[in-house]
Amino acid sequence: MLKIRRIKELSREERDRILRRSRVDIESVLSDVRAIVAQVRERKDNALLQMLKQTNPKAGAEDIRVQEEEFREAEGLVSKELKEALREAAQNIETFHRAQLEKPFWSVEIREGILLGRVTRPIEKVGCYIPGGRAPYPSTVLMTVIPAKVAGVREIYITTPCGEDMKVNPAILYAARMAGATSVFKIGGPWGIAAFAFGTETIPKVDKIVGPGNKYVTAAKLLVFGEVDIDSPAGPSEGLILADSSANPQYLAWDLISQMEHDPEAAGILITTDETLAKEVQGLLMGLLPEIPKRDIILGAMGSYSLILIAEDIEEALDFVNGYAPEHLEIHSPNPFELLLRIQNAGSVFLGEYAPIPVGDYASGTNHVLPTGGAARAFSGLSVDSFLKRITFQYLSRGGLRSIAHGVSEMSKAEGLLCHSEAVMVRLKDEG
Amino acid sequence: MLKIRRIKELSREERDRILRRSRVDIESVLSDVRAIVAQVRERKDNALLQMLKQTNPKAGAEDIRVQEEEFREAEGLVSKELKEALREAAQNIETFHRAQLEKPFWSVEIREGILLGRVTRPIEKVGCYIPGGRAPYPSTVLMTVIPAKVAGVREIYITTPCGEDMKVNPAILYAARMAGATSVFKIGGPWGIAAFAFGTETIPKVDKIVGPGNKYVTAAKLLVFGEVDIDSPAGPSEGLILADSSANPQYLAWDLISQMEHDPEAAGILITTDETLAKEVQGLLMGLLPEIPKRDIILGAMGSYSLILIAEDIEEALDFVNGYAPEHLEIHSPNPFELLLRIQNAGSVFLGEYAPIPVGDYASGTNHVLPTGGAARAFSGLSVDSFLKRITFQYLSRGGLRSIAHGVSEMSKAEGLLCHSEAVMVRLKDEG
């Protein structure tokens, strides 16, 4: 049974536990992961091979990279329907991410003779981690590779775990080829992350690593951060549903279930001002449960961080939402846009009764690589910006330099960097 | 003597050493810093007080935060000239950073019935670390606080080391007040970073920590990354100067000196296609050295990662620049904009003979918190974007949902998430 609680009756401890949810417990795996990262850094391909041989003793160096014939084979193994679905999704993702592109060059003369500006450049080499534990995730291939491609990244590599037979799921290979990935490697876990961070004989060193993964992958990303850039650390999925009495309880029940089927640690939370609706959803959910294939996972999620919360009014509900900073947020209300304007912290927001979270997971075009565990307070989801750098520049005329020379001189004296002042003054010397 | 080398004659090892330069050696301090971070997390203000008492046994809890009277006192201690310089710099920094603001809300109907968009929101609480080791850095107060303010951040905190007398440098306090910081704390090093990451009785937990620091500060930032967001890890300053025969050797000599006076680990590098110019700069530099107050630091920098490089042609020079990914880049050439367009990796670029790096360090308006050690391959300098989050959203009509329902269903089946499909289908049920 999915518990129903009033927000105002939550104890401090309960509230903290819900807000904290299943943060990735990195500490417990850190020393194991550090050893793996060091191994890969030092022994490169040999370390990767040693790992591959544990599941398949016949693995050789040629098994690290997916070969051309494997892509061809995959092409034949993916159904026509799935290909069509992936193509449509890719088109929508590309359209939305193209809309994110900013002016690649702008400048402004902030005072006479001082021109400041910014040029935007794609990162050159990117590594995308595609998880393969619970299931294959071809959708994550599209969500990581397409924005990089739109940004103009020239080398986009994928790494993903392979099976005991040294094969990568065909839908992943099909999606990788379609989205324009440069190469695909069969190295999962911290090994894959370390290979991207330091490079091996077969796997190139990249400038940034993106994509979700389990706690071992996340720990490895944190350990190599600084050596390369990474996206935000990822934890179990979360969906928060904000609904008033206009909502359809049947839809809410399915949305909670579809959120909870991700993972026994996933959080599906309904917040509503309508107690009758809350009970109705609770009842419907229990009624649906017997027909659900992933019942055990859902029961797990119900027992951990999922629940139904009753808010006194919309203010209390919004406060909770912004404090929670959910990865996904659904808003069911006659005018959901009005409430959107009051959301401060969230990864992606789904407005109205016809926008269930799964449309964003797969096909509408928004990105599904989103900040979890409250990271939405400071982090954004993956976007074209994730693959761009911004370089500032300036051009000064002699008059422009003259106009700020005195200021530079005063400040450099205050900071004890006298030659900074000289470098300016030497250029104006003959002006006395 | 600053060495002169030809790029094509560098050995693999020399090249690697120059490109790698003084990367922060985090590993060596990591376990000490981890212990400090754990102490602050657990014992909060008590841990901070214990640290303060080491330099001043009389320190009390009231010494953690700068008091109102200390701001008033600082106001009286800063010279009229420095105040004026800080005000002018602040104005330029604000103007340039305002120009970076993006549309806070946009949407696009990517196909009939599917509206996707993005809202931009400021991060709510930010912590700025202002170093105080070698010298006070009021300029860094402006460079961190003003972009946050322009982005709309409501709570902007500063922490910085204080002296044995429990005082913070008056110019820092003056700049903090002028730029609009909420509070200033007197806690330096890993203690300050840990306090911002976890919060104490006196220091609030923030969502993001920015600002440069020594290797202890950088190690602490890496350790708390994930718990909060951070800007890019910072190392010693670097300035790379690309010059053809049109350059004024006198200016180049001073620019190299002003780069090297930062730190014995700082890198000042001149790359030129003109061997005569190279030798001239080398000679001028040696001639200037005796008059320089920070001669020892400059001699240190000359012996570590600074040098003059001769390139066969502009192609070789540009290749080196992009491989180096410098924090600062000066371009001395008759048409520096043409070369700017060929720069892929840099923090900030200074064009023409009247734009020495110190103008950007202090007063022209660009930000001086920039990626070092090659991080410019993936990271950008601090900007308004550093303090904004982007939240995507979507609104679908029933028709819009119908148009992608089949695709969602196919992909959810491929990933074994069948309830994802049901959550869509239940909304279209009576359409059969």
Q: Say yes or no for a CB contact (<8 Å) between B85 and A411.
A: yes
Instruction: Summarize pLDDT for B189-212 with one digit per residue, the tens.
Output: 999 999 999 999 999 999 999 999
Q: Which amino acid is at A387?
A: F
Confidence check: pLDDT of B399 > 80: yes
Q: Say yes or no for a CB contact (<8 Å) between A82 and B26.
A: no
B358 and B282 in one domain? yes
Secondary structure of residue A45 in the 3-state scheme: helix
Residue of chain A with shortest Cα separation from B388: A378
A410 and A262 in one domain? no
Instruction: Summarize pLDDT for B13-60 with one digit per residue, the tens.
Output: 999 999 998 776 788 898 999 999 999 999 999 999 999 999 899 999
Q: Is the dihedral of CA B140, B142, B145, B148 positive or negative?
A: negative
A129 lies within 8 A of chain B by CB: no
A76 lies within 8 A of chain B by CB: no
- pLDDT at position B25 is 73
Domain CATH code at residue B265: 3.40.50.1980
Instruction: Identify whether A217 is part of a domain.
Output: yes
Summarize the confidence of residues B357-378 as an average pLDDT.
97
Question: What percent of chain B shows pLDDT beyond 70?
Answer: 99
Q: Using an 8 Å CB-CB cutoff, list chain A residues near B138.
A: 411, 414-415
Query: Which position has the token pair 């839809």?
Result: A251
B19 lies within 8 A of chain A by CB: no
B40 and B12 in one domain? no
Summarize the confidence of residues B269-273 as an average pLDDT.
98
Instruction: Summarize pLDDT for B350-364 with one digit per residue, the tens.
Output: 999 999 999 999 999
B138 lies within 8 A of chain A by CB: yes
Instruction: Identify whether B141 is part of a domain.
Output: yes
Q: With bands split at pLDDT 50, 70 and 90, how would you rate the model's confidence at B133? A: low
Q: Say yes or no for a CB contact (<8 Å) between B364 and A116.
A: yes
Instruction: Identify whether B374 is part of a domain.
Output: no
- pLDDT at position B234 is 83
Q: Which two tokens stand for residue A265?
A: 């640690």
Label the pairing between strands A155-159 and A183-185: parallel
Q: Using an 8 Å CB-CB cutoff, list chain A residues near B359.
A: 394, 396, 401, 404, 408, 424
Q: Say yes or no for a CB contact (<8 Å) between B207 and A392.
A: no
Instruction: Identify whether B252 is part of a domain.
Output: yes
B395 lies within 8 A of chain A by CB: yes
A277 and A143 in one domain? no
Closest-CA distance, B164 to chain A, in angstroms, reads 19
The parent domain of residue B410 ranges over: 398-431
Count the neighbouring beta carbons within 10 Å of the beta carbon of residue B14: 12
Looking at the structure of chain B, the number of domains it has is 3
Instruction: Identify whether A415 is part of a domain.
Output: yes
B104 and B31 in one domain? yes
- pLDDT at position A300 is 95
Cα distance between residue A243 and residue A364, in whole Å:
22
B341 and B413 in one domain? no
A205 and A342 in one domain? no
- Is A332 labeled as catalytic in the residue annotation? no
Catalytic amino acids of B?
327-328
A106 lies within 8 A of chain B by CB: yes
Summarize the confidence of residues B233-258 as an average pLDDT.
95
Q: Using an 8 Å CB-CB cutoff, list chain A residues near B301.
A: none
Cα distance between residue A204 and residue A183, in whole Å:
10
Interface test with B, best of A367, A395, A413 (most B CBs within 10 A): A395
Task: Please choose, from the candidates A134, A343, A389, the residue with its C-alpha nearest in 3D space to the C-alpha of residue B376.
Answer: A389
Closest-CA distance, B397 to chain A, in angstroms, reads 6
Q: Using an 8 Å CB-CB cutoff, list chain B residues near A392.
A: 347-349, 360, 366-367, 381, 383
A269 and A198 in one domain? no
Nearest beta carbon to residue B395 from set A108, A352, A408: A352
Confidence check: pLDDT of B134 > 80: no
Nearest beta carbon to residue A358 from set B88, B356, B424: B424
Closest-CA distance, A75 to chain B, in angstroms, reads 15
**Which of B:140-159 have CB within 8 Å of A?**
none
Closest-CA distance, A7 to chain B, in angstroms, reads 23
- pLDDT at position B24 is 65
A299 lies within 8 A of chain B by CB: no
B285 and B210 in one domain? no
A198 lies within 8 A of chain B by CB: no
Examine the fold and report which residue of B190, B212, B230 is the final residue of a domain before the chain moves on. B230
Instruction: Identify whether B193 is part of a domain.
Output: yes
Instruction: Identify whether A53 is part of a domain.
Output: yes
Task: Please choose, from the candidates A26, A17, A24, A8, the residue with its C-alpha nearest in 3D space to the C-alpha of residue A305.
Answer: A17
- pLDDT at position B330 is 98
User: How far does CA B424 lie from the centroid of its chain?
Assistant: 44
Per-residue exposure over A208-241, b if at least 16 CB sit within 10 Å of its own CB, e if not? bbbbbbbbbbbbbbbbbbbbbbbbbbbbbbbbbb
Examine the fold and report which residue of A177, A195, A230 is the final residue of a domain before the chain moves on. A230
B189 and B68 in one domain? yes
B107 and B91 in one domain? yes
- pLDDT at position B28 is 87
Q: Residues of chain A whose pLDDT is less than 50?
A: none
What ipTM, to 2 d.p.? 0.96
Cα distance between residue B176 and residue B368, in whole Å:
17
